């Protein structure tokens, strides 16, 4: 039989390959996570994440200059605590480190889109994402505090809040509190399907938030579950989330795709610390080409259905896209 379908015809010419391309990675997709710490040491390198540091407010301001110049449109802010306690009180302090960083960034770089992580784990003495009562992470007491965190970020001028704690009902509570305080237009990007993943390992050094007892499996999802992820996504949608996050990204691309079919909501793929560390380590060892592997990874999340890409590679990606 004669071959009639020849898919290679459209692959022969570079121009045609570009014209026929279905998905494209652009700078506008990028969200760069940043860690600010309350001390004066400008940059404290995170050993598990080469190229990532905990920043003082001053160093933070310098880095913003660089990333704005490169065209990175958005950052996701994480903070480190001075004094940790059971409630993670610094997380919702008026002049907590993230609240200060938001004020600085808003003033200096009004065009930069500011997202903030809403969680307690970097601020609690036990390292859990909520309040511990009788040895357990208490859902409703945690939600109350998370709502205060979100409000304090709103008051500082953040553009979007991103609750990552995985307590039930927190999107509803945060939406209600924001609306009541006059922040009806402030969007919520909820970590809808966040799995209890080994790939967060390096982040726990970056944010100094490793649980001091037990693990996060009583609130983060079991990596084995699909239907439960759908329920999480639909629950957050019903509660008023504007964007949903799937996390981690690469090993969970099936869920990015399914979330897209399920809700039609914008999706953010979080390329987490472990994914970053793996690529960095392999590139350093000479096992693969960093630029090609990073660009391919992010593009594949887009193909799966994500439009926002949260990645520690954002600065490099912005540089590479400019070169292209």
Contact at 8 Å (CB) between 249 and 197?
no
CB of 10 to ligand PBG, least distance (A): 37
Spatial distance between the Cα atoms of 113 and 74, rounded to a whole number of angstroms? 5
Taking CB positions, which residue lies at the least distance from ligand PBG? 203
Measured from the CB atom, the residue of 109 and 141 that comes closer to ligand PBG is: 141
- Assign 161 to helix, strand or coil: strand
One-letter-per-residue 3-state SS of 221-267: ECCCCCHHHHHHHHHHHHHCCCEEEEECCHHHHHHHHHHHHHHCCCE
User: How large is the angle between the packed helices 273-284 and 290-304, nearest 10 degrees?
Assistant: 150
Spatial distance between the Cα atoms of 24 and 302, rounded to a whole number of angstroms? 8
Measured from the CB atom, the residue of 117 and 239 that comes closer to ligand PBG is: 117
Reply yes or no on whether 237 is catalytic: no
- Assign 21 to helix, strand or coil: coil
Measured from the CB atom, the residue of 233 and 272 that comes closer to ligand PBG is: 272
Measured from the CB atom, the residue of 245 and 304 that comes closer to ligand PBG is: 245
CB of 209 to ligand PBG, least distance (A): 6
* Nearest one of 322, 214, 202, 305 to 258, comparing CA atoms: 305
Which of 194, 237, 280, 302 is labelled catalytic? 194
* Nearest one of 228, 141, 245, 232 to 189, comparing CA atoms: 245
DSSP string, 36-97: E-SSS-SEEE-TTSTT-EEE-HHHHHHHHHHHHHHT--EEEEEE--SS-BTT-GGGG-TT-H
CB of 194 to ligand PBG, least distance (A): 7
Reply yes or no on whether 194 is catalytic: yes
Contact at 8 Å (CB) between 102 and 123?
no
Spatial distance between the Cα atoms of 241 and 233, rounded to a whole number of angstroms? 9
CB-CB neighbours of 201 under 10 Å: 14
Measured from the CB atom, the residue of 47 and 322 that comes closer to ligand PBG is: 47
Spatial distance between the Cα atoms of 61 and 36, rounded to a whole number of angstroms? 10
CB of 228 to ligand PBG, least distance (A): 17
CB of 204 to ligand PBG, least distance (A): 6
Site residues (vs ligand PBG, CB under 6 A): 117, 119, 121, 129, 164-165, 200, 203-204, 209, 216, 272-273
Measured from the CB atom, the residue of 119 and 137 that comes closer to ligand PBG is: 119
CB of 42 to ligand PBG, least distance (A): 22
Give the residue numbers annotated as catalytic, written as ranges: 194, 247
């Amino acid at each position: 039989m004669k071959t009639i379908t020849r898919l290679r015809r459209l692959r022969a010419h570079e121009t045609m390959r570009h014209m026929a391309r279905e998905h494209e990675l652009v700078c506008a997709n990028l969200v760069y996570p940043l860690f600010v710490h309350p001390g004066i040491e400008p940059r404290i390198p995170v050993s598990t994440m080469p190229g990532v540091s905990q920043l003082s407010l001053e160093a933070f301001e310098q880095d913003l200059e660089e990333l704005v110049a490169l065209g990175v449109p958005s950052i996701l802010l994480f903070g480190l605590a001075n004094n940790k306690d059971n409630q993670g009180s610094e997380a919702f302090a008026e002049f907590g480190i993230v609240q200060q960083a938001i004020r600085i960034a808003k003033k200096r770089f009004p065009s930069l889109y500011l997202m903030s992580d809403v969680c307690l784990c970097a601020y609690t003495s036990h390292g859990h994402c909520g309040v511990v009562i009788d040895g357990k992470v208490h859902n409703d007491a945690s939600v109350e505090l998370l709502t205060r965190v979100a409000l304090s970020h709103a008051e500082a001028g953040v553009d979007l809040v991103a609750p990552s704690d995985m307590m039930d009902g927190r999107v509803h509570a945060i939406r209600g509190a924001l609306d009541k305080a006059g922040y009806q237009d402030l969007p919520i990007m909820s970590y809808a399907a966040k799995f209890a993943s080994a790939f967060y390992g390096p982040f726990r050094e970056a944010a100094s938030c490793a649980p001091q007892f037990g693990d996060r499996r009583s609130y983060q999802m079991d990596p084995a579950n699909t239907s439960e992820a759908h329920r999480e996504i639909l629950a957050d949608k019903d509660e008023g989330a504007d964007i949903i996050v799937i996390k981690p990204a690469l090993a969970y691309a099936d869920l990015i795709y399914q979330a897209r079919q399920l809700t039609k909501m914008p999706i953010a793929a979080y390329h987490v610390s472990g994914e970053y560390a793996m690529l960095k380590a392999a590139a350093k060892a000479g096992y693969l080409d960093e630029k090609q592997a990073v660009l391919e990874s992010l593009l594949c999340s887009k193909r799966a259905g994500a439009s926002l890409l949260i990645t520690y590679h954002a600065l490099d990606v912005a540089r590479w896209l400019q070169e292209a």
